[in-house]
Chains A and B, each alone.
Chain A
């Protein structure tokens, strides 16, 4: 992932029901908003899921994106996280070319980045790194010359920095 200039991270709490992700994605499509990345998972409250959307706000103001999202009946709460107010993490998995004699190059990078080797084959190695999106960008760039045969990134998830946290309180109030 290259560095994104015009993006906002939206943390959207939605009712954990069938079709809700389609509503959110459909709204972005219909209003001409762009999604850069998207991650969805249940929260500690089984009735609520958290969707972390990195929205490209070059085309439409983030205020309008948030207001339109908020109109969806199944959207419970939206937090807009500026990068400085949030902790963002992402996970990367990659299969890298590494024949028997070349494995040390991969291992060296893994050591520097604290990445983990998940699988080792005769010609390739599979590695994993979790961390800030910028760190993943660096890792990906350094792996590339070794020959990446498959790469998958999850898209970022984020939570507010703790001294700014209102999210936890609002979740608890739903109980």
Chain B
């Protein structure tokens, strides 16, 4: 059947099950926007291409499905590089379509031309410049296949204008839809390995059965593999404590007795110390990131390592595992559970009462803590805002955060009891992530309440997407923790640069966040004292016809604790000042 490349592209997206596109049209992609009018695909018109990319990521985080962004050539493509890199670092399945100048103009420095494939090569799982209209369906099928299988990631498809423009004879083609077998055959070098080696799985089971101080180190791969349920089966079967990394918050419920919470630079004392003291780390879909390990040569010195990851390059990249297992987390954990059951299951576990007592002792002595204020006394504590937000919102609320202190406090104080409720930029640490990501999450899960927790610095980077949210009636809720500073940088300058504050002050009043939010079509409130917090949150929760922004004036002096200072080992973790004396005491006794 005769069709043009632009129609084929839209039809291919429909066939891939795409319901939502986040994008912004422009010259080179213009012909594709015409057949879009006749498509059931919903298009969310963003105000900046970076927003389209983060929205696609937020959509993918919340739904587990591919997020799709479509933008034009040149500056639009460069604007979406940050989200691509973000998605690459956090293994987010995403497909990005970019327009390109006509094939005949490529290489001539044409208007809005840039080498998109060259620029994005190192921040995508794969990218491809399509040069013939008839290759479009296969390129789209490959993109979705690559983005969603193996270790997920972003794939970019660059489409020159001439092959989608009906006015150009090069756009004429016959429609066809490649079969799964044809797609696989077209990628001779791509064969993701999902089944774990049974011998290694059996070795892992034996190690678990011998360990008296085990810890499951659960990473984002658990969520990508949809393995949260089977992780719980594994933990409960063998009574194994679990830490959930920043990318895995919600993969194991925080209210579960075996959950130790988040490890790492700003993790809680028990999670950090449990990993340090463990005799066995069962790393499932985690990658020994520097923010988790601290100084590498001092990390978990006595632990044997079982490392399960679908990406073979992660095994041994940072820490050499004793039992490496390449495979999909869900499939491998299922096999591991079967192997453990065959070896006697819970009855075969050694006595771990000393370890359990140690863990509960640490939890009791070193909980997350902060010094709250009496109502009306000074600025609101950011941790208090998060505790109240958590209490006053439904248990399955999706929360998206920006990057910095507010992100760490959210990860610490939000109790994550459901998978796919935490949307954040872990690897790349992209300030400005939260608002577009929250919009994408809300589009994907309109049934859920979605809160963006943002800092004042982050908010100023991507706030314009609230116009998108208003125009498209996407009622997200935003809490700005306004401490008038680039707070995390301020914290480092206070602690490690002798309180010499360099370029971190932003002003609490400039901009006027309430006016700004209102100008963007949002309901907006300002909260300046502790006793106003609950009422504002309840009011925001009741507004569902437009986005809501609450600006909380928070205490700029607050720092995130615990903290493992950069370059230090995890054994040197600093706890809240109120707990330091006790920590020094028990350290002297050998923990």
A residues near B (Cβ < 8 Å) are 14-15, 18-19, 22-23, 26-27, 30, 47, 63-64, 67-68, 70-77, 174
**Number of cross-chain contacts by CB at 8 Å:** 40
**Cβ–Cβ contact B121 & A71, under 8 A:** no
Which residues of A sit under 8 angstroms from B311, Cβ to Cβ? 71
A-B contact pairs, 27 of them (CB 8 A): A15-B188, A15-B189, A18-B129, A19-B121, A19-B129, A22-B121, A23-B121, A26-B121, A30-B122, A47-B188, A64-B313, A64-B316, A64-B317, A67-B312, A67-B313, A67-B317, A68-B313, A70-B312, A70-B313, A71-B311, A73-B125, A73-B146, A73-B189, A74-B189, A75-B189, A76-B189, A174-B188
Which residues of B sit under 8 angstroms from A67, Cβ to Cβ? 312-313, 317
**Cβ–Cβ contact B313 & A73, under 8 A:** no
A85 to chain B, nearest CB (A): 22
Question: Cβ of B118 < 8 Å from any Cβ of A?
Answer: yes
Contacting residue for B313 out of A71, A75, A77, CB 8 A? A71
**Which parts of B317-331 form the interface with A (CB within 8 Å)?**
317
- CB-defined interface of B368-392 with A at 8 Å, one 1/0 digit per residue? 0000000000000000000000000
**Cβ–Cβ contact B117 & A19, under 8 A:** yes
Roughly how many angstroms separate A63 CA and B125 CA in the complex, as a whole number? Answer: 20
Question: Cβ of B126 < 8 Å from any Cβ of A?
Answer: yes
Roughly how many angstroms separate A68 CA and B311 CA in the complex, as a whole number? Answer: 9
Roughly how many angstroms separate A74 CA and B129 CA in the complex, as a whole number? Answer: 14
**Which parts of B143-164 form the interface with A (CB within 8 Å)?**
146
A93 to chain B, nearest CB (A): 31
- Which residue in chain B gives the minimum CB-CB distance to A75? B189
Contacting residue for B187 out of A19, A27, A73, A174, CB 8 A? A73
A30 to chain B, nearest CB (A): 5
Considering residues A14, A18, A73, A74, which has the most beta carbons from chain B within 10 angstroms of its beta carbon? Answer: A73
Roughly how many angstroms separate A76 CA and B188 CA in the complex, as a whole number? Answer: 6
B201 to chain A, nearest CB (A): 21
Which residues of A sit under 8 angstroms from B312, Cβ to Cβ? 67, 70
Roughly how many angstroms separate A73 CA and B149 CA in the complex, as a whole number? Answer: 12
Which residues of B sit under 8 angstroms from A19, Cβ to Cβ? 117, 121, 129
Roughly how many angstroms separate A64 CA and B313 CA in the complex, as a whole number? Answer: 6
B198 to chain A, nearest CB (A): 22
**Which parts of B339-389 form the interface with A (CB within 8 Å)?**
none
Roughly how many angstroms separate A68 CA and B316 CA in the complex, as a whole number? Answer: 12
Q: Interface size on B (CB < 8 Å)?
A: 17
Roughly how many angstroms separate A19 CA and B190 CA in the complex, as a whole number? Answer: 17
Which residues of B sit under 8 angstroms from A68, Cβ to Cβ? 313
B138 to chain A, nearest CB (A): 13
Which residues of A sit under 8 angstroms from B190, Cβ to Cβ? 73
Which residues of B sit under 8 angstroms from A75, Cβ to Cβ? 189
**Cβ–Cβ contact A63 & B146, under 8 A:** no
- Which residue in chain A gives the minimum CB-CB distance to B314? A67
A12 to chain B, nearest CB (A): 10
B residues near A (Cβ < 8 Å) are 117-118, 121-122, 125-126, 129, 146, 187-190, 311-313, 316-317
Roughly how many angstroms separate A73 CA and B187 CA in the complex, as a whole number? Answer: 7
B193 to chain A, nearest CB (A): 10
Which residues of A sit under 8 angstroms from B316, Cβ to Cβ? 63-64
- Which residue in chain A gives the minimum CB-CB distance to B312? A67
Having A27-B122, A67-B313, one finds 19 other A-B pairs with CB under 8 Å, namely: A14-B189, A15-B188, A18-B129, A19-B117, A19-B121, A19-B129, A22-B118, A22-B121, A23-B121, A30-B122, A64-B317, A67-B312, A70-B313, A73-B125, A73-B187, A73-B190, A75-B189, A77-B189, A174-B188
**Cβ–Cβ contact A72 & B189, under 8 A:** yes
Which residues of B sit under 8 angstroms from A74, Cβ to Cβ? 189
- Which residue in chain A gives the minimum CB-CB distance to B146? A73
- Which residue in chain A gives the minimum CB-CB distance to B126? A73
- Which residue in chain A gives the minimum CB-CB distance to B326? A67
A72 to chain B, nearest CB (A): 7
Roughly how many angstroms separate A32 CA and B588 CA in the complex, as a whole number? Answer: 42
9 closest Cβ pairs, A-B complex:
A67-B313, A76-B189, A73-B126, A30-B122, A75-B189, A73-B190, A76-B188, A67-B312, A68-B313
Roughly how many angstroms separate A71 CA and B126 CA in the complex, as a whole number? Answer: 10
B314 to chain A, nearest CB (A): 9
Which residues of B sit under 8 angstroms from A27, Cβ to Cβ? 122
Roughly how many angstroms separate A132 CA and B572 CA in the complex, as a whole number? Answer: 55
Roughly how many angstroms separate A15 CA and B188 CA in the complex, as a whole number? Answer: 8
Which residues of A sit under 8 angstroms from B126, Cβ to Cβ? 73
Which residues of A sit under 8 angstroms from B125, Cβ to Cβ? 73
B310 to chain A, nearest CB (A): 11
- Which residue in chain A gives the minimum CB-CB distance to B316? A63
Which residues of A sit under 8 angstroms from B317, Cβ to Cβ? 64, 67
B79 to chain A, nearest CB (A): 21
A113 to chain B, nearest CB (A): 40
B518 to chain A, nearest CB (A): 45
Roughly how many angstroms separate A63 CA and B317 CA in the complex, as a whole number? Answer: 9
Which residues of B sit under 8 angstroms from A76, Cβ to Cβ? 188-189
Roughly how many angstroms separate A73 CA and B146 CA in the complex, as a whole number? Answer: 9
Which residues of B sit under 8 angstroms from A14, Cβ to Cβ? 189
Which residues of A sit under 8 angstroms from B129, Cβ to Cβ? 18-19
Which residues of B sit under 8 angstroms from A174, Cβ to Cβ? 188
Roughly how many angstroms separate A53 CA and B553 CA in the complex, as a whole number? Answer: 58
Roughly how many angstroms separate A19 CA and B187 CA in the complex, as a whole number? Answer: 15
- Which residue in chain A gives the minimum CB-CB distance to B131? A18
Roughly how many angstroms separate A69 CA and B329 CA in the complex, as a whole number? Answer: 23
Roughly how many angstroms separate A127 CA and B122 CA in the complex, as a whole number? Answer: 41
Roughly how many angstroms separate A76 CA and B189 CA in the complex, as a whole number? Answer: 4
**Cβ–Cβ contact B122 & A26, under 8 A:** yes
B125 to chain A, nearest CB (A): 8
Roughly how many angstroms separate A117 CA and B230 CA in the complex, as a whole number? Answer: 71
Which residues of A sit under 8 angstroms from B121, Cβ to Cβ? 19, 22-23, 26
- Which residue in chain B gives the minimum CB-CB distance to A63? B316
